[in-house]
Amino acid sequence: MILIVNNHDHNAGKIGARLKALGQSHIIKDADSLLQGKDLKGIKGIILTGGPLMLDKPLKLSSIRADIASILDFKVPVLGICLGYEIMAEILGSEVERLHIPSKSPKQKVRILKKEYLFEGFPDTIEVFESHSLYMKNLPPFLEITASSSKDTIESIRHKQKPLFGVQFHPEESGEISEKLFSNFIEICNGK
């Protein structure tokens, strides 16, 4: 079972549909209804969705941050998407900056820098859907950049010791790469 933590994102259902099409069972829970890891029994992987919330609105996000911090210690693979990635990277010690102009592109070219884990079997360059107004910088040394673009130096990260992954783009909206990326994440959750 994969838990989809919904950060008030209209795409949570699309992520669930992608997992279902791959034969993977899942449940969707709102981020603000989690109980700091107590609801995670039987979960073999977690996806943190994007969403409209902003990291610079701390009162809105304080309980969500606490739950996600608890999730990151739960020792199951985690994939953060857009806001989910931003919250995860911030909790792990990265800095968050607001873009001067929000990034929205249905066909953003992304260079794959590390072709393992999430990007196993991917070509050198992919096109993805992107929509965000924040970005990460100054990653701690235990986080590795795995993909980049001309717009964002950091499009994807992974933790060097834990199965924690993040993507700035929206794989659920990115056409043919969607199935491969979610399939790779399911394999990671299954210990492959």
- Which tokens belong to 63? 């309980």
Q: Which of 74, 92, 18 is nearest to 49 (CA)?
A: 18
CATH code linked to domain 2-189: 3.40.50.880
- Which is the catalytic residue, given 26, 170, 173, 189? 170
* Nearest alpha carbon to residue 71 among 39, 30, 118: 39
Q: What's the pLDDT at 59? A: 47
Catalytic residue of the set 130, 155, 172, 173: 172
172 counts as catalytic: yes
pLDDT digit string (tens) for the chain, length 192 residues: 999 988 878 888 899 999 999 999 999 988 766 655 556 678 999 999 988 765 555 545 566 667 777 777 778 999 999 888 988 888 888 887 776 666 677 788 999 999 999 999 999 999 987 876 677 788 999 999 999 988 767 899 999 999 999 998 889 888 888 899 999 999 999 987
Q: Which residue has the tokens 């608890």?
A: 70
| Separation of alpha carbons 23 and 17, rounded Å | 10
The model scores a pTM over 0.95: no
* Residue 119: predicted pLDDT: 95
What is the b/e burial string over 73-101, where b = at least 16 CB atoms within 10 angstroms of the residue's CB?
Answer: eeebbbbbbbbbbbbbbbbbebebeeeee
171 exposed, middle or buried (CB, 10 Å; 0-12, 13-18, 19+)?
buried
In 3D space, the residue among 122, 126, 134 whose CA is nearest the CA of residue 168 turns out to be: 134
Give whole-number Cα distances, 1 to 5, 16, 140, 178, in Å: 13, 11, 31, 19
pLDDT for 14 equals 93
Q: Which residues contact 148 (CB under 8 A, 6 or more apart)?
A: 110, 111, 113, 154, 155, 156
CA–CA dist 52, 18 (Å, integer): 21
Domain positions in the chain are: 2-189
CB 189 within 8 Å of CB 2: yes
pLDDT, residue 79, reads 97
| Residue that the structure tokens 């499009």 belong to | 155
